[in-house]
């Protein structure tokens, strides 16, 4: 007799599932608002990350965005041709090129942040200021907990549901912090 299959009840209350669903819905709502901006999700994601940290090289940005370097290179080629980003030489390494926002990008980013604030307000409707602050602080603590830990490789825990019984799941895609 084979063992009974794992039970999947309560997945809607598991942290990974809830965070993934909320991130997906935030992206979806932001995309609905940003539809008229004329940029793809990938393009505004690049702009948002460069706004947070200009001067990155392409490989570092590819790692942050969790995309292949060649995919990002093609995306940057299009953004550069459209006047959104600039590649500049790295003063420490003649072979390297660093990424910066072009002047044209700044008004677009201002519109993106405004749409992000609207999306965040919609998401946090009904939460008082203290609850909002607690939520953000809790998520930041969880993020720090996971950033401080060494990478976990697929092993027996991933197959049998992990130490806490939760099924292993794909990491959630990176979310643009449009509200910041």
pLDDT digits (tens, 9 = 90+) for 151-168: 666 554 444 444 343 433
Under a CB-based contact definition with an 8 Å cutoff, are residues 107 and 42 in contact? no
Compute the C-alpha angle 29/146/55, nearest 5°. Answer: 70
Q: What pLDDT was estimated at residue 154?
A: 53
Global pTM exceeds 0.85: no
**113-144 residues labelled b (16+ CB within 10 A) or e (exposed):** bebbeebbeeeeeeeeeeeeeeeeeeeeeeee
Question: Cα(59)–Cα(6) distance, rounded to whole angstroms?
Answer: 40
Mean pLDDT of 97-124: 95
CA distances from residue 119 to 32, 33, 48, 137, 140 in whole angstroms, order as listed: 10, 8, 15, 19, 19
- Residue 63 or 6, more confident: 63
Question: Cα(111)–Cα(107) distance, rounded to whole angstroms?
Answer: 6
Q: What pLDDT was estimated at residue 11?
A: 76
Instruction: Determine the angle formed by the axes of helices 15-34 and 41-52, rounding to 10 degrees.
Output: 100
Nearest to 84 by CA among 93, 75, 97, 72: 75
Return mean pLDDT, the chain.
84
Mean pLDDT of 116-128: 96
Question: Cα(97)–Cα(94) distance, rounded to whole angstroms?
Answer: 8
Query: Domains (ranges, CATH) in the chain?
Result: 11-123+152-160 (1.10.10.10)
């Amino acid at each position: 007799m084979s063992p009974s299959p794992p039970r999947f009840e309560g997945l809607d209350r598991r942290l990974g599932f809830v965070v993934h669903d909320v991130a997906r819905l935030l992206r979806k709502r932001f995309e609905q608002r940003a539809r008229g901006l004329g940029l793809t999700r990938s393009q505004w994601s690049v702009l948002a990350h460069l706004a947070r940290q200009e001067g990155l090289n392409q490989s570092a940005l590819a790692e942050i965005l969790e995309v292949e370097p060649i995919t990002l290179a093609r995306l940057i080629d299009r953004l550069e041709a459209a006047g959104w980003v600039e590649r500049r030489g790295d003063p420490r390494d003649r072979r390297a090129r660093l990424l910066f926002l072009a002047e044209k990008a700044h008004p677009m980013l201002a519109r993106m942040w405004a749409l992000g604030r609207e999306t965040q307000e919609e998401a946090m409707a009904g939460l008082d200021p203290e609850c909002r602050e607690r939520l953000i602080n809790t998520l930041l603590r969880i993020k720090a907990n996971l950033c401080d830990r060494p990478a976990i490789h697929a092993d027996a825990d991933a197959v049998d549901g992990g130490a806490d019984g939760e099924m292993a799941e794909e990491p959630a895609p990176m979310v643009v912090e449009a509200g910041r």
